[in-house]
Amino acid sequence: MRISPSVKPGVWGAVLGSIITMILGFGWGGWVTGGTATQTAMQQADAAVVSALVPICMERSKTDGAGAKKLAVLRAMTSSYEQREFVETAGWATMPGSAKPNKEVAEACLARLLKIAEAK
């Protein structure tokens, strides 16, 4: 099949225009693939769930009979890993209907507990 010489520039222009459009769209235009969009949506959903569960953790720390003592012990710890484990072990990050604590909730709750403790 032979392409007419007058059509070649139009075909090359369309090919190069498509490539440039894709480069600009994905590079600066905010376009993403379906996989990236799904991953971003999952991250946002997880963050929303953690955000919704942190108040439960905070309430559990307030209603804990030894909460004030535990908070003092928590503030004295220097390792964030130990602090997170402490919140998990105290049961504050174990959500209703769950048998084990949620690490992400424990980390977010810990951050808020330490911020409140610093303000006092």
Q: State the pTM of this model.
A: 0.70
Angle at 44 between CA 42 and CA 49, to 5 degrees: 95
Residue closest to 87 by CA, chosen among 68, 110, 111: 110
Residue closest to 25 by CA, chosen among 17, 42, 47, 78: 17
Predicted local distance difference test score (pLDDT) of residue 35: 94
Q: Quick count: other Cβ atoms within 10 Å of Cβ 61? A: 23
Q: 104, 50 in Cβ contact below 8 A? A: yes
Predicted local distance difference test score (pLDDT) of residue 75: 87
pLDDT tens digits for the chain (120 residues)? 677 778 888 888 999 999 999 999 988 998 999 999 999 999 999 999 999 999 999 999 989 888 788 888 888 898 999 999 999 999 999 999 999 999 999 999 999 998 887 776
Q: 119, 111 in Cβ contact below 8 A? A: no
Q: Which ranges of the chain does DSSP label H, i.e. alpha helix?
A: 8-27, 34-63, 67-76, 80-90, 103-119
Can you read off the two tokens belonging to residue 82?
A: 């130990």
Predicted local distance difference test score (pLDDT) of residue 47: 95
Predicted local distance difference test score (pLDDT) of residue 74: 87
Predicted local distance difference test score (pLDDT) of residue 1: 64
Domain ranges of the chain: 1-31, 39-119
